[in-house]
A and B are shown apart, each in its own frame.
Chain A
Amino acid sequence: MKTKKVNVPLMSDLFSRGETVEYLFWVGCAGAFDDRYKKVAAALARILTYLDVSYAVLGKEETCTGDPARRAGNEMVYQMQALQNIETFKAYDIKKVITICPHCYNIFKNEYPDLGADFEVISYVSFLSDMLKSGRLKLSSNALKDKVITYHDPCYLGRANKIYEEPRMLLGAMSQGLKEMKRNKSFALCCGAGGGQMFKEAEKGDKEIFIERTEEALETGANIIATACPFCMTMITDGLKYKNREEEIENLDICELIVRSLKI
């Protein structure tokens, strides 16, 4: 099999050459630093290259959206981050942003406009489901035909922004159909990581939320648990380890499944 190196273009390089791109691919801190999620960022880079999308990333100029600070009550740190990011976007005249992390998506879409942001933000699931609809992205179920997939709705795509159908459309196109968990879509149970919980020990209780959710995913009998959020991925992966099921059951991001389906 022949391979090629995927070149991820930097906004600053293009700018110095006087070139412009259509999209900014916002990698997010998890995509840049979390070892597991780096692979998801790479998967999306492959897909964008495969689809010949005109995009670039900010690289070192990217900085936290401020979401974890804001939801933990630190409005000051959030707004400093937000205003800095808005400045960067303005400097590069960025009009469209693709995000992987639903928390980045939510804060860009719903909260940055209050601070003067003026750009369109698209979650990669919506971006890719649009590509699927328009026929530019063609998915086949061959690569995953023996797999049963269940999908865990991230709160910040689902309830926060009502994105329920797009991920299901993508997953449906590359599998023999989804096996839904008992609580799904607007009823979905949180993985336990939102609102700053990702970074701290949980309060005293009788169970970890991620275990409750992982058990529910396991009940479906699926051998792939698909997610679309870096925090959800950490939680579900931890849940699978806790249940000693990480060998047989995969926890993959929708991007990674698409890469598999496209065999790229």
Chain B
Amino acid sequence: MQKQIIFALVLLATLGVFAYTALRLLRFFKLTRPAFPVRDTGRRLALTMKVAFGQSKIFRMPLIGFLHALVFWGFCVILIGSLEMLIDGLAGTERVLKFLGVVYDVIIASGDIFSLLVTISVIVFMARRLFFHVRRFEGYEMKRASHIDASIALTLILLLMISLLGLNSAYYALAIKEGQKMAGVFPVSSLFYGLYAPFGPATIHAWHEIFWWSHIVLIFIFANILPYSKHFHVFMSIPNVYLSRLWPAGKLVNMDNITREVRLMMNPETAFSAAPGNAEVDRFGIKDIEDVTWKNYLDSLSCTQCGRCTAVCPANITGKKLSPRKIIMDVRARMNDKGPEMIKQGKEFDDAKSLLRDYVSLEELWACTTCNACVEECPVNINHPELIIDMRRYLVMEEGQAPGEIKTVFNNIENNGAPWQYSSEDRMLWAENIEMAIDE
């Protein structure tokens, strides 16, 4: 009973912290703009199965992707065991799900194998960060905090796996020693039996308790650290994939407020009949964090800073300042800086800074070719060019800012209907004197 009470208190504290975090994020989301209605449940589920559970985009880098997939699938299986621990802890039971019989054996056995596979993968990940030069982990936006963040997350996962293997091997050893029937099958943990052989049941039981508690407390700590780290993707990637933009990568979202204005301009007679009334005056494009949509913000929370986007960005590859990853990181950082003050002091809060310029420079924005290589690569379906175009929209339509040659293009299109300065009278010159060979 004592154990149950302690467990319940620890759980309560965990949930309390988690609720605080969730509420904070919810308030941030309330500061954002609408994006799109979420329909097509079937398509979304299929996409989630493929991209999230099938790890389809992770596999675009087959070797390291495979290791990530092992960690992901391992987490999914091990999560069932963690839920069981939660019930056990509250109800004072032991391995409460064992009534599932063979199914239970399969779950436990695969969890046991996965805990070893995850351990190996995480060690490879750590070694890669420490001893190998991986270009995409460097980049000027990767500050020390990001590297520490990664190390903490990987260490925690490693400890989680060690404690799980410890817990299972102690359980196995105890059952053997006491000659009891055990619930579950332990192909990996059973290999550690030798370590427990010299000890009596009481000592092994104590080890079991130590591992049990460390494992569950580590889970609680991990879950509460994640939302503040770049590893929040552990929670956010599946929802983010489910809430993907379902249209082709080439499509930009239409600005309906511009459509209204253009229609008025093209047909002035309707200007009076369609009086705007108290229509909200929207800012065109994105200047600061309050202009991003909930989807842009969700993207930023789902980003793990893996840098696959930046590694394929043609601008970045050729030494330009643009790094798609940085744009996404900037959105999250800006919300962390401005969001709390906007919640306290109201949406009008102004710290004389903005996402555009103070976080994302014009040099970055104008370097994008909108090639969508970043979008294609992102394992969690983040869209980077959308933000870039929206910031260009603000610059162009609110400030009249653009590189000189681009302004010329705008003028040419407006004046002669082509990006170059040619007269529309000459549009058929190409078709004069086309000869073609014919059979005799």
Chain B 401-414, CB within 8 Å of chain A: the 1/0 string?
01101101110011
Q: Which residue of A lies closest to B251 (CB)?
A: A110
Residue of chain A at shortest CB distance from B266: A83
Q: In the assembled complex, how far is the CB of residue A152 from the closest CB belonging to chain B, in whole angstroms?
A: 12
Residues in A202-240 with C-beta less than 8 Å from chain B: 202-209, 212-213
Cβ-defined contact, B417 with A81, below 8 A: yes
Binds A, one of B154-162, B337-345, B389-397: B389-397
B173 part of interface (Cβ distance < 8 Å): no
Q: Which of B402, B424, B433 has the most CB of A within 10 A?
A: B424
Q: Which of B217-274 contact A (CB under 8 A)?
A: 247-252, 254-255, 258-259, 261-263, 265-266
Known contacts A189-B314, A199-B409; decide if A160 and B372 are in contact (CB<8 Å). Answer: yes
- Determine the distance from Cα of A110 to Cα of B431 in the docked complex, in whole angstroms: 29
Distance in angstroms between the alpha carbons of A159 and B251 in the assembled complex = 11
- Pick the contact of B370 from A63, A194, A206 — CB < 8 Å? A194
Complex: chain A residue closest to B417, CB-CB: A63
Nearest A residue to B284 via CB reads: A75
- Given the known interface contacts A8-B428, A38-B429, the answer about A45 and B389 at a Cβ–Cβ threshold of 8 Å is no
A87: min CB distance to chain B, Å: 9
Bound-state Cα–Cα, A74 to B88, Å: 60
Residues of A161-212 at the interface with B, using a CB-CB cut-off of 8 Å, are: 161-162, 186-187, 189-190, 192-209, 212
CA distance A201 to B408 in the complex (A): 13
User: Which of A110, A200, A203 is within 8 Å of B406, CB to CB?
Assistant: A200
- Residues of chain B within 8 A of A213, CB atoms compared: 314
Q: What residues on A are CB-neighbors of B50 within 8 Å? A: none
Q: In the complex, what distance in Å separates the CA atom of A94 from the CA atom of B426?
A: 23
- State the Cβ distance, A209 to closest chain B Cβ, in Å: 5
Alpha-carbon distance between A5 and B433 when the two chains are bound, in angstroms: 7
Shortest C-beta distance, B404 to chain A (Å), equals 8
Check: A2 CB closer than 8 A to any chain B CB: yes
| Residue numbers in A under 8 Å from B395 (CB-CB) | 73
Q: B138 contacts the other chain (Cβ, under 8 Å)?
A: no
Do A63 and B424 have beta carbons less than 8 Å apart? yes
Instruction: State A66–B259 Cα separation when bound (angstroms).
Output: 14
Residues facing B in A123-176 (CB within 8 A) are 155-156, 159-162
Whether the pair B437, A33 counts as a contact (CB closer than 8 A) is no
B84 proximity list for chain A (CB < 8 A): none
CB pair B436 A6 closer than 8 Å: yes
Q: Cα distance A103–B273 when bound, in Å?
A: 36
* Cβ-neighbour of B413 out of A31, A41, A64, A110 (below 8 A): A64
Q: Nearest Cβ in chain A — how far from B256, in angstroms?
A: 8
Residue pair B430, A75 in contact (C-beta under 8 Å): no
With A189-B314, A199-B408 known as contacts, the answer to whether A42 contacts B431 (CB < 8 A) is: yes
Distance in Å from the Cβ of B371 to the closest Cβ of chain A? 3
Report the bound CA distance from A186 to B427 in whole Å. 34
**Complex Cα–Cα for A187 and B258 (A):** 34
| Residue on B nearest A106 in the bound complex, by CB | B250
Is A249 located at the chain interface by the 8 A CB criterion?
A: no
What are 11 A-B pairs at a CB distance below 8 A?
Answer: A2-B438, A3-B438, A5-B433, A5-B434, A33-B420, A64-B418, A68-B419, A194-B369, A196-B406, A196-B409, A209-B315
Q: Spell out B's residues near A (CB within 8 Å).
A: 60, 247-252, 254-255, 258-259, 261-263, 265-266, 284-285, 312, 314-315, 317-322, 363, 366-373, 375-376, 385, 389, 391-397, 402-403, 405-406, 408-410, 413-414, 417-420, 422, 424-431, 433-440
What are the 6 A-B residue pairs with the smallest beta carbon separation, nearest first?
Answer: A160-B250, A73-B392, A63-B417, A206-B319, A195-B370, A190-B371
Which residues of A does B touch, CB under 8 Å? 1-6, 8, 10, 27, 29, 31-34, 38, 41-42, 45-46, 49-50, 57, 59-60, 62-64, 66, 68-77, 79-81, 83, 106, 109-111, 114-115, 155-156, 159-162, 186-187, 189-190, 192-209, 212-213, 263-264
